Amino acid sequence: MAEKKKRKKNKKQKPLQSMILAFLFTCFIMYLLVTAIETAIKIVDTNEKIGIAKSKYEQINDENEQTSNLLKNADEKDIIERIARERLGYVFPDEKVYYDTN
């Protein structure tokens, strides 16, 4: 008789254990899915930042190249004039300056 009770108890515990394992497995899979999505979003954001940094890098390299060409091909007067125009906003007295407001 004691053997029948053990069998009934084991039969009741197996479905419960299976349900618990299935629940834990489902939770684990959901965790992996959420983690994968978060990682993918971070990768996309990082790639965007890399693209922005590369464009800034190229822009700065272009400016450096223009400046080095100016220094190689210009005399002191040209350099002073360019700096006065670009950085200080100076113009010649008889010169008209038009600004694009678009």
Read off the pTM.
0.53
- Kindly tell me if the per-residue pLDDT of 1 is higher than 60: no
Give the pLDDT score at 8: 59
3-state SS, one letter per residue, for the chain = CHHHHHHHHHHHHHHHHHHHHHHHHHHHHHHHHHHHHHHHHHHHHHHHHHHHHHHHHHHHHHHHHHHHHHHHHCCHHHHHHHHHHHCCCCCCCCCCCCCCCC
Q: For the chain, what is the mean pLDDT? A: 86
Give the pLDDT score at 53: 97
Q: pLDDT (tens digit, 9 = 90+) per residue, 62-100? A: 999 988 887 787 788 887 888 888 888 888 888 888 878
